[in-house]
Amino acid sequence: MLDLPVNETISLRQLQPEHAPALYKQIDTSRKTLRRFLPWVDYNTNEEHSLRFIEMMLRKAEDQDAIAMGMWYESQLCGVIDLHSWDHLLQKAEIGYWIAEPFQGKGIVVASCKTLITFAFESLRLNKIEIHFALQNERSAQIPIRLGFAKEGILRHNAKLHGQYVDMVIMGVLREDWKY
C-alpha cells in the first residue's frame, strides 16, 4: 500500500477495501455538491459501489494504468485524488480529485496535488501531468492555476454531464517546469 505524507495534518494513502464505508460516507454527505460536476456520484449509492471502485482501482494500479489515493485530514478520509489515463509511451497521466464539503477551503487538495505530482515526476518518471475539468467548474479551475499549470486548450462538447454536453478545459505541467 502506497502512503505519502503531505504535511503534519494531511496524508495520501492508497485506497483499500476497508476504506469503502468511510469513502461512501463522504460521497453521501456531499452528494449534492459533488454531483454537479461528477456524474459518477449518481451511480455510487451504497458502500458496495465504493468497494467496487476501490477494487477496480487496485487492479488498475497493478497494471500501472491508474492509482487512487484517499486524502486523509487529521486521520479522517476526506476525499480522493488519483492518477489515471497513464500513457506509458508519452510518460503522462491525468490527475483527478474531489473533496467532501466539510473539508473544502482548507488547502487540502492543493497540498495533496503537490505531493502526488512530485511523486509522479520523481518516482514514476512521468514527464507530464494534465488536469481536465468542466469549463463551468470554477472552483476546480483554481487548483491547476495555483499549481502553475499552463492552459492548453478547451475541448468542445468533450464530456456529458447529466445528459448535457460540456466543454472540458485541459491544463498541464511538464516535469521540467515543476517547481515544488
Domain boundaries, the chain: 3-126
Helix 47-62 vs helix 20-29: crossing angle, to nearest 10 = 120
- Please provide residue 30's backbone torsions phi and psi, each rounded to the nearest 5 degrees: -115, 20
pTM: 0.94
> What's the mean per-residue pLDDT of the chain?
96
- Say if residues 92 and 171 touch (Cβ distance below 8 Å): no
pLDDT band at 84 (very low <50, low <70, confident <90, very high): very high
Give Cα separations from 127 to 21, 45, 70 (angstroms). 35, 37, 24
Q: For the domain with range 3-126, which CATH number is right: 3.40.50.150, 3.60.150.10, 3.10.20.70, 3.40.630.30?
A: 3.40.630.30
pLDDT band at 1 (very low <50, low <70, confident <90, very high): confident
Q: How far is CA 30 from the centre of its chain?
A: 16
Average pLDDT of the residues in 20-37: 95
Strands 76-87 and 92-99, sheet pairing? antiparallel
Strands 76-87 and 128-134, sheet pairing? unpaired
What percent of the chain lies above the pLDDT cut of 90?
98
